[in-house]
Amino acid sequence: PAPLPSPYYSAPEEAPSLAPSSPFEEAPSPSPTSDENNYQNVSGLFDVRKFGAIGDGITDDTESFKMAWDTACQSELALNVIFVPNGFSFIVQSSIFTGPCKGGIALK
């Protein structure tokens, strides 16, 4: 069987700048473990596409955004970024993203 997609963020050649723009600052994270089923993203980046978001302007991506939020919310890192890439048309229905979260969360 084909392996499940990894929830770990794969940075494009031009990764978004994560220069500290808030008081949250932390030492570099260790490399991700080889356990592909571990949905804890040690880098603090959660790409909504890794949670199944399509961004084709037709498919409802709400559940993927909720899964990315819930996973980031459980991370104990000081800052977790839910990455929503440019160039896509994500369809997200009215939603309530609940907390409290263990660390800070930003949408980028």
Q: What is the pLDDT of residues 25-76, one digit of tens each?
A: 444 444 444 333 344 456 899 999 999 999 999 999 999 999 999 999 999 9
The answer to whether 93 and 73 are in contact (CB under 8 A) is no
What is the domain partition of the chain in residue ranges?
45-107
Buried b (16+ CB within 10 A) or exposed e, 47-73: bbbbbebbbeeeeebeebbbbbbebbb
Q: CA 45 from chain center: how many Å? A: 5
Beta bridge partners of 91: 60
pTM for the predicted model, two decimal places: 0.61
